[in-house]
């Protein structure tokens, strides 16, 4: 669903089934403009993945998506945007667009 929404708005989407797979895509040389990161992932948590992304790819904006009401403050300070699962699709698109614009300043 999210992949279709993003593609409808002109984004090229790469998917990974886990955070470690996503990190592997990047370490293999795949370039991305933004990472849309789920908080709950197999193997590594969203927090751990965000820390690795910021360490290895500090210029890549991260937008966190989660169904949880409350998330660790340290994680929220680390990411460039946050949306809750189930929010209006336009909120997701707006948050991504803002993170991309801020990342290219």
For 38-76, what is each residue's pLDDT tens digit? Answer: 888 777 888 999 999 999 999 999 999 998 888 889 989
Residue 100, pLDDT score: 93
Residue 53, pLDDT score: 94
Q: What is the C-alpha separation between 64 and 68, in angstroms, rounded? A: 11
Number of domains in the chain: 1
Q: What is the C-alpha separation between 13 and 32, in angstroms, rounded? A: 9
Residue 67, pLDDT score: 86
- Domain of 65, CATH number, reads 3.40.50.2300
Residue 1 pLDDT class (50, 70, 90 cuts): low
Beta strands in 1-90 (DSSP E): 35-38, 62-66, 81-84
How many helices (H) and strands (E) are present in the chain, helices listed first?
A: 5, 3
Cβ–Cβ under 8 Å, residues 64 and 84: no
Mean pLDDT computed over every residue of the chain: 89
Domain range spanning residue 11?
2-103
């Amino acid at each position: 669903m999210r992949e279709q929404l993003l593609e409808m708005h002109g984004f090229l989407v790469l998917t990974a089934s886990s955070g470690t797979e996503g990190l592997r895509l990047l370490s293999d040389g795949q370039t991305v403009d933004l990472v849309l990161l789920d908080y709950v992932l197999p193997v590594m948590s969203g927090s751990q993945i965000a820390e690795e992304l910021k360490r290895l790819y500090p210029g890549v904006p991260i937008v966190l998506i989660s169904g949880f009401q409350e998330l660790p403050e340290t994680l929220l300070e680390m990411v460039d945007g946050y949306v809750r699962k189930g929010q209006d699709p336009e909120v997701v698109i707006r948050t991504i667009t803002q993170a991309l614009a801020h990342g290219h300043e």
